[in-house]
């Protein structure tokens, strides 16, 4: 019985690295997944704002030219 108890004790010590590696991996994966979602949202917001700003600029040019062309066509007639 004493040999079995010592064997079990050493098994826990030997297997501790594997157990802690698994636990550490799970914790790291969970934390990384959470941080990735936050960083993804931040990146998406910034990228969306840049694209929206550029599209707004193009819309401003288009509306300005549309108004100018309407005025010029009215003057020619």
DSSP state of 77: -
User: What are the angstrom distances between the C-alpha of 57 and each of 29, 63, 65?
Assistant: 41, 10, 12
Work out the pLDDT band at 73, boundaries 50, 70, 90: confident
| pTM (predicted TM-score) | 0.51
Q: Distance (Å, rounded) from C-alpha 67 to C-alpha 77?
A: 16
Work out the pLDDT band at 5, boundaries 50, 70, 90: low
pLDDT digits (tens, 9 = 90+) for 6-19: 567 777 777 787 88
pLDDT digits (tens, 9 = 90+) for 33-58: 999 999 999 999 999 999 999 999 99
For the chain, where are the alpha helices, taking DSSP H only? 2-76
């Amino acid at each position: 019985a004493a040999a079995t108890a010592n064997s079990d004790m050493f098994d826990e010590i030997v297997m501790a690295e594997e157990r802690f590696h698994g636990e550490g991996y799970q914790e790291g994966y969970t934390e990384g997944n959470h941080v990735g979602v936050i960083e993804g949202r931040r990146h998406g917001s910034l990228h969306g704002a840049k694209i929206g700003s550029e599209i707004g600029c193009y819309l401003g040019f288009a509306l300005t030219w549309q108004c100018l062309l309407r005025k010029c066509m009215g003057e020619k007639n």
